[in-house]
Structure 1
Amino acid sequence: MSGVISFQGIPGAYSDLACRGACPAMTTLPCASFEAAIDAVKDGTADLGMLPCENSLAGRVSDIHHLLPDSGLFIVGEQFQRVEHCLLGVKGAVISDLRRAHSHSVALGQVRHILRDLNLAPVVEADTAGAAQLVAGWGKKTEAAIASSLAAEIYGLEVLRANVEDAAHNTTRFYVVSPRPGTQDPATPNLMTTFVFRVRNVPAALYKALGGFATNGVNMTRLESYMLGGEFAATQFLCDVEGHPEQPELRRALEELSFFSSELRVLGVYPMAAFRLAQGSGD
């Protein structure tokens, strides 16, 4: 598919890598914020958007939970991106030259071992690719960045050491969003459905609302709760389940859920990513 896909960050960010992996024929559009990436899709500047929703180490990306349900956009795919941090330096630098490592605070927390082993002082920057851009601009052998190999390529840095992350399973999951919903045949295997709902203010409402998924054999892969409008009494849930809403098992589960919910909205029906299928098969 040709066209434009938006993401939050600057060229070389892991979201940029996710865009290139999911849609290699599309042009990537860097945006200053999640809101800007969403707006680019809404106003037609971009055809699709790549929004991170959760990371295997850091957990959920809370901004997306608040922005996506009210955006008017639909989830049409998912992408999993391995976070493979590299230690980057300017041309001619060697590891013994380094004194400081610049990166996003989350990334610095994921490379504690190498920072300790090399006695590098961590310096927090706005994002990983931005740190690479800064280090390239300074041109100092004492300064390093923790970022992707793509960032090294874009900003002319050298990869002094690859895969420096503490955990090999560090992976970010993304929603691919579109102004139009996907058209998936209910008979298609390996589909995911994402929806949001609010439970009625009655005793055991959440327990009763979710019971239909268990009794109908629907696999729920994700359930997140978050407050609305800063009110402790107003809670919305975002849920990922396997299947299509028109398949009998999921249809019955959603009907039971709607009986106990004050609102239920499907945000998207989309194919499972190859990464998810491979994990399920044990590969």
Structure 2
Amino acid sequence: MTKGRIAFQGELGANSHEACLAAFPDMEPAPHPTFEEAFEAIKSGDCSLGMIPVENSIAGRVADVHHLLPSSGLKIIGERFKPIHFQLMVNPGVRLEDVQVVQTMPIALAQCRKTVRRLKLRAETVGDTALAAKLLAQKPDAHRAAISPALAAEIYGLEILLRDIEDERHNTTRFLVMTADPNPPPPPFTAPCITSFVFRVRNIPAALYKALGGFATNGVNMTKLESYMENGAFTATFFYAEVDGRPEDRGLARAFEELQFFSERFEVLGVYPADPFRDRG
């Protein structure tokens, strides 16, 4: 018996599916075609959690998610870093020398371009890595391969010809664990924590400079600061940020007090344990 469902964007076999299994093996992964639908599944209670990718060490931030995150109404309760590995897979019995075309999503193709170039394959793009494997299984082709995670080969009955074909070994995606609970339990007191928040500065001179000054003077480490357009306006007054620590920490509490003085909107999106992966390397 599972402890509920966890939403992710993509087909069964996607990297997000693998991330769900690794972090929450007792939960049932629930695929959704779009990020909007995954977020809605969490908000509606159909899924108790969500596993949402927000950035990749090579491709950068996931634009759709950063557009949805501040207005989602969801809370962040965890983060997971997942090393990304791609496999070249084919229908059973197909030989590597017979493959002429490879299909996958554009980001995966860009991350495996050296292998694709070396094998002199013609590339075709689809919307999701696992979808590439699913389509190949549905319509077998002796001259076609897919670039997908290993789980997709297992799910769709494909054979892996080449393993771990990504160009960069440091290829890593960061996921956020989301909940619709407006007041989730606080993380263990002993755990190093990250606090994510959004804010909109007041329309006064040097507002951003003054709003952020408290983090420096109170010794708070800000690890992320990103601006956003709101309602199509070409003004970067809305920000998503992450800092080390908890809001009740003395230094961060003072920094937030100063930030709010110069902001017209401020909201904490989550306080959650830092993934130990951060300490590697």
Stretches of structure 2 that go unaligned for 5 or more consecutive residues are none
Contact 2:187–2:272, Cα closer than 8 Å, also in 1: no
Separation in 1 of the partners of 2:228 and 2:65? 11
Separation in 1 of the partners of 2:57 and 2:84? 10
Separation in 2 of the partners of 1:259 and 1:237? 15
Change in Cα spacing, 1:121 to 1:74, as seen in structure 2 (3 Å) is: same
Letter in 1 for 2:145: A
Name the structure 2 match of 1:194. Answer: 196
Contact 2:88–2:148, Cα closer than 8 Å, also in 1: yes
Letter in 1 for 2:239: F
Q: CA deviation at 1:8?
A: 0.7
Deviation digits for residues 118-142 of structure 1 (CA, Å, limit 9, x no counterpart) = 0011101111000001111221121
Residue correspondence of structure 1 range 1-283 to structure 2 within 5 A? 2-180=3-181, 181-184=183-186, 187-233=189-235, 235-276=237-278, 278-279=279-280, 282=281
Q: CA deviation at 1:235?
A: 2.7
Stretch moving more, 164-173 or 63-72:
63-72
Change in Cα spacing, 1:185 to 1:71, as seen in structure 2 (3 Å) is: closer
Stretch moving more, 36-45 or 182-191:
182-191
Q: Identity over aligned residues, as a percent? A: 52
Counterpart secondary structure, 1:232: coil
Letter in 2 for 1:44: G
Letter in 1 for 2:132: A
Contact 1:186–1:244, Cα closer than 8 Å, also in 2: no
Contact 1:182–1:269, Cα closer than 8 Å, also in 2: no
Counterpart secondary structure, 2:235: strand
Q: CA deviation at 1:188?
A: 3.2
Contact 1:186–1:246, Cα closer than 8 Å, also in 2: no
Contact 1:49–1:176, Cα closer than 8 Å, also in 2: yes
Separation in 2 of the partners of 1:174 and 1:182? 18
| TM-score w.r.t. length of structure 2 | 0.96
Counterpart secondary structure, 2:229: strand
Separation in 2 of the partners of 1:72 and 1:227? 18
Separation in 1 of the partners of 2:152 and 2:120? 23
CA RMSD in angstroms comes to: 1.4
Change in Cα spacing, 1:185 to 1:86, as seen in structure 2 (3 Å) is: closer
Separation in 1 of the partners of 2:250 and 2:130? 46
Change in Cα spacing, 1:41 to 1:185, as seen in structure 2 (3 Å) is: closer
Separation in 2 of the partners of 1:251 and 1:170? 35
Separation in 2 of the partners of 1:102 and 1:145? 5
Counterpart secondary structure, 1:39: helix
Contact 1:8–1:15, Cα closer than 8 Å, also in 2: yes
Contact 2:108–2:147, Cα closer than 8 Å, also in 1: yes
Separation in 1 of the partners of 2:78 and 2:55? 14
Counterpart secondary structure, 1:251: helix
Separation in 1 of the partners of 2:177 and 2:189? 22
Contact 2:187–2:273, Cα closer than 8 Å, also in 1: no
Q: CA deviation at 1:238?
A: 0.5
Counterpart secondary structure, 2:70: coil
Runs of 4+, deviation exceeding 3 Å: 185-189
Counterpart secondary structure, 1:207: helix
Deviation digits for residues 199-247 of structure 1 (CA, Å, limit 9, x no counterpart) = 1122221122112111111111111111000001353110111110001
Counterpart secondary structure, 1:12: coil
Letter in 1 for 2:153: A
Separation in 2 of the partners of 1:207 and 1:28? 43
